[in-house]
Amino acid sequence: MKMRLFSLMLLLLLVVNAAAQDAALTLTPIGTYATGKFDEGAAEIVAYYAPAKQLFVINAADVSIDILDITDPTAPALVTNIKLDEYGDSINSIAIKGETIVAAVENADVAGNGQAVFLNPDGTVAAAVEVGVLPDMVTITADGMYALTANEGQPADDYATDPEGSVSIIDLSGGVANLTQDNVMMVSFADFNADGSRAAELPADVRIFGPNSTVAQDLEPEYIATADGIAYVTLQENNAVAVIDIATGMVNAIVALGYKDYNAEGNSIDASDEDGGVNIRNVPAFGMYQPDGIAAYMADGATYLVTANEGDARDYEGFSEEARVEDFALDAAVFTANTNAPEDLGRMRITNTQGDTDGDGDLDAIYSFGARSFTIWGADGSLVFDSGNMLETMTSELSFFNSNGANDSFDSRSDDKGPEPEGVVVAELNGAMYAFIGLERVGGVMVFDVTNPMAVSYVTYATNNLPEGNAEEGTAGDIGPEGLLFISAEDSPNGMPLLVIANEVSGSTTIYSIE
């Protein structure tokens, strides 16, 4: 039974602000809508339809969209639930720009194309067009002229089928009412295959490692940011970003993101869940950035990209790259005898697809999933800023450090991806640019001033997570933030800028006031 939850949690809110008392802004949760469905993906991605003051929230638990009235943001209320199961097996994303509302719906067939389903404000279907396999994210350009889907094209569990990843670009210039399949342009990466005309342009550090997969099959578009006619597409498992001209569908480049050295100053991590507590230190290992969410913004006339470096491993019945350091022999010239111990790096989850650089059967380098950070990149893929160890350091005082947000899970994710930054939005407030970084495991959102990409400063951290509560009974607050949405003061129902977070595990959508 669905229930509305106005924040009694507010009284128990934990807000950590490690900046000074004069922080540029504060976040306070003012209202929550809870579906009452735990760990079913009942609140994943959220979009805002300003004219009606309504949130459209992906409810993957039953292939539907919850429309919430937030005229009073302290008491979000369910208006209706829109089923889209006739268009596919799962709704993965939703976007709204002006009067255009579009959802990305996945096919039940692992190799079948998905649908971009366009909705009227009342939730009825206005149009639907076919896009690529497993559209995992959908966005609309700032001018409203195009909708784009990142089609992940994941393999079947036995890896017998591995569809190509792609990006679909939908021309909206003629209006949603006139949409046909002719308005859809499919962007393929087949030219980068070994026998393709652009094979030589693929950087060597782009991870192509699926068994018997072509480059086009192996690339898995995850998330899209657009700016000035360009789409920047994260290729998470491949540790890369594709740069695409939206009007022509031309892939301008595929950029390898490289690796983060956890032995470098400022890049320390807690690498073990069996080391007795918080133990943030330098270790002889590398992190693959592998971003999920990406956002674009302008500073001094240049485009910058902000990525949330969640990390992701391929783990299927037919092929898995997941391993632990303790599973391997280590080169004695590189590592100490204790490195394989569980309290050292032995428990650390790593890929089994790279690291034996000299082919002698032992690891010469260790590569883990994600970078436990957010990063600012230039539009050319150059690294401008990385938050280093800040996310772990700033949550190290919390009782749910590197946990899954539930009680009795302290330090349980240190061997994996730590706080697991997943979502990011960038917004302007009072002339300054702020990046809001959602932490999927620890929970909550961390805020940074990114006005000057070369001089980033931490602002605040806020969470509505209550680890002393019982997650399954719905008393642990928000767990597993997935989708972040900024609402400007101009569009806000109460005249204040708002941040909305959809929480996948707890099935709750919480509205924060920004002051």
pLDDT tens string 141-181: 999 999 999 999 999 999 999 999 999 999 999 999 999 99
Alpha helices in 21-146 (DSSP H): none
Q: In this predicted structure, what is the pLDDT of residue 471?
A: 81
Inter-CA distances, 473 with 36, 193, 275, 507, Å: 8, 49, 30, 12
pLDDT tens string 188-221: 999 999 999 999 999 999 999 999 999 999 999 9
- 80 contact partners, CB below 8 Å, separation of at least 6: 67, 123
Question: Would the pLDDT of 4 be above 70?
Answer: no
Specify the higher pLDDT residue, 473 or 28.
28
Kind of pairing, strands 259-261 and 286-288?
antiparallel
Q: In this predicted structure, what is the pLDDT of residue 111?
A: 97
Q: In this predicted structure, what is the pLDDT of residue 16?
A: 38
How many C-beta neighbours within 10 Å does residue 432 have?
14
Residue 66 in tokens: 């919850």
Q: Are 505 and 479 in contact (CB under 8 A)?
A: yes
CA distance 145 to 143: 6
Phi (first) and psi of residue 97, to 5 degrees: -140, 115
pLDDT tens string 373-392: 999 999 999 999 999 999 99
SS3 482: strand
CA distance 167 to 220: 10
Helix (H) or strand (E) holding 216: helix 215-218
Which residue ranges form the domains of the chain, and what is each CATH number?
A: 3-312+370-514 (2.130.10.10), 314-369 (no CATH)
Question: Would the pLDDT of 510 be above 80?
Answer: yes
Question: Would the pLDDT of 15 be above 80?
Answer: no
pLDDT tens string 248-259: 999 999 999 999
Amino acid sitting at position 495: G
Q: 315, exposed or middle or buried, with CB in 10 Å at 0-12, 13-18, 19+?
A: exposed
10 — pLDDT class (breaks 50, 70, 90): very low
Q: In this predicted structure, what is the pLDDT of residue 13?
A: 38
DSSP 422-445: EEEEEEEETTEEEEEEEETTT-SE
Longest dimension (CA), the chain: 67
How many C-beta neighbours within 10 Å does residue 158 have?
11
Radius of gyration of the chain (CA): 22
CA distance 327 to 308: 29
How many C-beta neighbours within 10 Å does residue 333 have?
7
User: pLDDT above 70 covers what percent of the chain?
Assistant: 95
Secondary structure tally for the chain: helices H, strands E: 3, 35
pLDDT tens string 261-319: 999 999 999 999 999 899 999 999 999 999 999 999 999 999 999 999 999 999 999 99
Mean pLDDT of the chain: 93
Q: In this predicted structure, what is the pLDDT of residue 407?
A: 62
9 — pLDDT class (breaks 50, 70, 90): very low
pLDDT tens string 61-109: 899 999 999 999 999 999 999 999 999 999 999 999 999 999 999 999 9
